């Protein structure tokens, strides 16, 4: 990769390799963020079958019924696709992979006040990128902290194998899987300002707590990527895309992973 495209210092790359995650600032302009705001505010007012299915008459006891996450918005919205392929993000990913990155998934979380969090988990359990690994680019559309349910990461767990998960506490997590951190490792908050991007390795254990704030959403635009040298990925994430928008089809990964072939991967994660 040419030197002028390199965005990371040696220290930043070392942190990603050793800790499993890295926050990068300045990849999105305020104009970019305003366009994302407008796009997903418009999406929140309608139903998109298979991608966003809110209960417009929800009574508020579960805020996620009115504001569920948007799955794969790049498949029906060109603005979402453009920001999934956002050049500054793709350049950082190419630097982390040391090769071209392929975009596999986009999501948008609204996470209104009172929403449950997401139990600790590992992303490549679901994406099953082989050989190599997935990397997430988690962009804070609102400032994310402990009060409004910002992301939690367990440092250095990127060096662990993928685990077969336990069952999560449904009162606190809207997803069903839970991966217990190692005995001596604890989840810590990744404090982020609007526009910050958290990159993390597909084996890193991460999740979030409930949004305990009274009036603050914790919106996030989240995309997952694979290294261009990967040959296999779970079927749910095909096709992938190069930065120029050209689709790429990897082989379907039939591997049952750490839980064996009979274990059903619950999608979407």
d(CA 73, CA 53): 12
State the pLDDT at residue 7. 82
- Residue 52 DSSP code: B
Domains of the chain: 3-53+60-247 (2.60.120.620)
What pLDDT, on the 0 to 100 scale, is given for residue 246? Answer: 98
Checking if the pLDDT of 139 tops 60, the result is yes
- Position 268 confidence tier, pLDDT thresholds 50, 70, 90: very low
> pLDDT tier at 254 (50, 70, 90 boundaries)?
confident
Mean pLDDT of the region 69-89: 98
List, for residues 195-210, the tens digit of each pLDDT value: 999 999 999 999 999 9
* Phi, psi dihedrals of residue 235, rounded to the nearest 5°: -60, -30
Please determine, for residue 267, whether its predicted confidence score (pLDDT) is greater than 60.
no
Q: Give the three-state DSSP class for 252.
A: strand
Predicted pLDDT of residue 201: 98
- Tell the burial category of 52 from Cβ atoms under 10 Å away from its Cβ (0-12, 13-18, 19+): buried
Mean pLDDT of all residues in the chain? Answer: 94
End-to-end CA distance of the chain: 32
Distance CA 27, CA 17 (A): 20
Can you read off the two tokens belonging to residue 181?
A: 């951190």
**For tokens 């839980």, what's the residue?**
259
Specify the pLDDT at position 269: 47
Please state the rounded mean pLDDT for residues 202-225: 98
Instruction: Say if residue 11's pLDDT is above 80.
Output: yes
Q: What is the mean pLDDT of residues 144-170?
A: 97
Instruction: State residue 6's pLDDT score.
Output: 61
Q: Quick check: 193 pLDDT over 80?
A: yes
The C-alpha atoms of residue 128 and residue 254 are separated, in whole angstroms, by 9
The pLDDT of residue 224 is above 70: yes
């Amino acid at each position: 990769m040419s030197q002028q495209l390199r965005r990371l210092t040696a220290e930043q790359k070392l942190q990603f390799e050793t800790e499993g995650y890295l926050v990068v600032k300045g990849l999105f302009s305020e104009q970019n963020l305003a366009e994302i705001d407008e796009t997903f505010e418009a999406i929140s007012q309608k139903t998109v079958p298979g991608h966003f299915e809110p209960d417009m008459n929800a009574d508020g006891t579960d805020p996620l019924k009115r504001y569920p996450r948007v799955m794969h918005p790049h498949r029906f919205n060109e603005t979402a696709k453009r920001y999934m392929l956002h050049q500054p993000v793709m350049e950082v990913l190419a630097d982390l992979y040391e090769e071209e990155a392929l975009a596999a998934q986009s999501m948008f979380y609204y996470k209104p006040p009172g929403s449950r969090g997401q139990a600790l988990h590992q992303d490549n359990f679901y994406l099953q990128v082989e050989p190599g690994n997935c990397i997430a680019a988690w962009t804070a559309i609102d400032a994310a902290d402990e009060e409004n349910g910002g992301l939690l990461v367990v440092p250095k767990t990127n060096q662990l194998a993928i685990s077969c998960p336990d069952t999560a506490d449904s009162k606190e997590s809207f997803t069903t899987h839970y991966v217990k951190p190692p005995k001596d490792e604890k989840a810590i908050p990744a404090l982020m300002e609007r526009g910050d991007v958290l990159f993390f390795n597909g084996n890193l254990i991460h999740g979030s707590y409930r949004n305990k704030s009274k009036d603050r959403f914790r919106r996030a635009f989240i995309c997952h990527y694979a290294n261009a040298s990967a040959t296999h990925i779970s079927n749910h994430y095909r096709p992938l895309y190069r930065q120029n928008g050209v689709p790429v089809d990897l082989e379907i990964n039939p591997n049952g992973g750490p839980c064996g072939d009979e274990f059903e991967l619950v999608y979407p994660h």
